Amino acid sequence: MVNPDGSPKYTPHGLRHFFASTALAHGIPIHEVSRWLGHKSIKTTVDVYGHLVPASWDRCRTVMQTALRPGSPTA
């Protein structure tokens, strides 16, 4: 597929970014995505895609708060 100007609609770089962004947005751990992308350091992945996983902090906080509640079924 091509754009009206003749440039490719999909590029390897664009598909790579789509893969990483979609995986992270659906809860795949960033260290796994980093490994699959072949980054030498997870810092590279975090620098580029870290803004896509802010909900993970919210999920972690919820899990910890639930675990620390007296009488909680997960405590």
Long-range CB contact pairs, 64-72, < 8 A, 24+: none
Q: Could you read off the pLDDT of 14-63 as tens digits, one per residue?
A: 999 999 999 988 889 999 999 999 999 999 999 999 888 767 777 788 88
Name the pLDDT band for 74 (thresholds 50, 70, 90).
low
Q: Could you read off the pLDDT of 44-55 as tens digits, one per residue?
A: 999 999 888 767
Nearest 5°: the CA angle 61, 49, 30 is 55
The answer to whether 63 touches 52, Cβ cutoff 8 Å, is no
Q: What is the pLDDT of residue 64?
A: 87
The answer to whether 52 touches 27, Cβ cutoff 8 Å, is no
